């Protein structure tokens, strides 16, 4: 019984999340030979100010110097 967590920055539409869940579930089911109804997926939306990469918050990454 696979448990899969996908963390991503917030802002994606419910339709896009639905598509992601369907596709990830299908790939895991095929790859691990597990029935789809045994696969558990957790989507975690993260606020841009709760994630950093390379010492820079995601909320700051796309700002120009004038908007910081």
Rg of the chain (C-alpha set): 16
SS3 49: helix
Cβ-based neighbour number of residue 15 at 10 Å: 8
Single out the catalytic residue among 2, 35, 48, 65.
Answer: 2
Catalytic residue status for 2: yes
What is the DSSP secondary structure assignment for residue 20, as one 8-state letter? H
Residues assigned a catalytic role = 2
């Amino acid at each position: 019984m696979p448990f899969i967590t996908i963390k991503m920055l917030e802002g994606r539409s419910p339709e896009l999340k639905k598509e992601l869940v369907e596709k990830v579930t299908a790939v895991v089911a095929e790859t691990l030979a597990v029935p789809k109804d045994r696969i558990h997926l957790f989507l975690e939306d993260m606020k841009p100010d709760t994630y950093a990469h390379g010492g820079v918050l995601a909320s700051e990454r796309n700002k120009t110097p004038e908007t910081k």
